[in-house]
Amino acid sequence: MRPTFESSLREPGGEPGSDLRHETGSEPGSAPGSRPSDAPLPATLPSRHATPVGPHPTPLLDLVIPVFNEEDDLEPCVRRVHEHLVRNFPYPFRLTVADNASTDRTPEVAAALAAELPAVRSVRLGQKGRGRALRTVWEASDSPVLAYMDVDLSTDLNALLPLVAPLISGHSDLAIGTRLAGGSRVVRGPRREFVSRTYNLILRSSLAARFSDAQCGFKAIRGDVARRLLPMVEDTGWFFDTEMLVLAERAGLRIHEVPVDWVDDPHSSVRIFRTAVEDLKGVWRVGRALAVGALPLDRLARPFGDDPRDRELDAVPRGLVRQLIGFCCVGVLSTLLYLALYSLARTFAGPQAANAAALLLSAVANTAANRRFTFRVRGRRRAVRQQAQGLVVFGIGLALTSGSLAALGTVGGPVSHHSELAVLVVANLAATVLRFLLLRAWVFQERPQPSGPTAHQPCQPQQTQQTQQPHQNPRAREELKSP
């Protein structure tokens, strides 16, 4: 059950990060004319960490503009965005200029704007990197909804409210602007069009990404999601967006896409070739980490509220279709392995001995593969026992295939190698159904989940936080022990 916005404002939150240096800025809150005080607040809001700042409520939206040496474009950009938010955004907001190590007058321009315009602040970082700037500001922000946009304002500002609306309602976890979906209107040169589409094709083919546009500088994320997701993102440059989206998608978080109107900035300072090389390095790094299971994506699995996939229905087997598909894929590969091993062993052994050796080796591989990919069993717990049970299933298959070979020998006359293979294939197909039923109902049987309040504890963030606090604070641990 997600808390209401009013209740979330009364809950204590974390202090802003110490690695930020706030140059200047007015109190975060609403600008005159933005109608935040009398506008209706949403019924639910996906944050539990909002904290009042002075007399103003916590800004619902913290919109970040990362900049590097943008002394000419920064002022018109900030003024235009600020005016748009005042006129069209019905909730309290904050506009943050994140200057990452500019060497021109960008810090002075940002400080002057923060001193003049309400709800604008400037943040100065000592190192370059758009990803570093976004991570630093977002992790220190107390706003329930976090967003960013590029300083060139290539994206039409009318898409801002549709971008953050699914996050305000709690329907989605992240939102991105896309230039490659139906309904988008894009004006840009053929070179950038080719680079963008090629990059997204690489993501789809190598990382199995399903989102349509990773590079559009127009994205938003819920604050509580960011606090769990950002520590897992390693990149500090342009690949930051892609890595964040890939990890979120792999963890099952919901990503909302908004078609945008986008006009290319011909004076963009982005170095396409250098950025492309860095992005490819990031794709390789993330792909390798996903392949070896080095990312703890389980920490992101459904931690933000009730998920229909967590609800158990009586008499409805869970994951049956997926398990059947996985079992068939593993079965095809193990059958090919079995036939190859049998053909190899048949060169120096009789048919019965060759069949037993090939079936034994392929059965061990089959059990391990089904354990990992079909029934999604992780860790070493019960692995030896399950392999032993798999050998019992192997014994049943051995009896069927050996009996088939024995029956073939009673036909009389010489039996060709191809005839033996054909009989073995038929016998294995006959044993497949029985093997799947035994694996599902006996070897990898799903254990019943404990009933009671703890059964759905991972889906209740407040309980999770309470259980984590004693580990972070020894004094709190002692207080919990005391009666």
- pLDDT tens for residues 341-356? 989 988 888 888 888 8
Closest by Cα among 313, 173, 294, 295 to 245: 173
Sequence-ordered list of residues with C-beta below 8 angstroms from that of 361, at least 6 positions apart, any chain: 337, 341
Would the pLDDT of 133 be above 90?
yes
pLDDT at 306: 53
pLDDT at 120: 95
The CA–CA distances, whole Å, from 148 to 151, 218, 441 equal 10, 6, 50
In sign, the C-alpha dihedral spanning 276, 279, 285, 287 is negative
Q: What angle do CA 117, 121, 125 make, to 5 degrees?
A: 145
Mean pLDDT of the chain: 77
pLDDT at 303: 55
pLDDT at 449: 47
% of residues, the chain, pLDDT over 90: 31
Of 51-65, 79-93, 178-192, 231-245, which range is least confident? Answer: 51-65
pLDDT at 318: 56
Q: Place 405 in a pLDDT band, splitting at 50, 70 and 90.
A: confident
Rounded Cα distance, 308 and 420, in Å: 50
Would the pLDDT of 310 be above 60?
no
Would the pLDDT of 298 be above 90?
no
Would the pLDDT of 12 be above 80?
no
Q: What angle do CA 48, 49, 51 make, to 5 degrees?
A: 125
Instruction: Please state the rounded mean pLDDT for residues 133-161.
Output: 94
Q: What angle do CA 197, 199, 203 make, to 5 degrees?
A: 115
pTM for this prediction:
0.57
In terms of pLDDT, which residue wins out, 419 or 471?
419
Q: Place 304 in a pLDDT band, splitting at 50, 70 and 90.
A: low
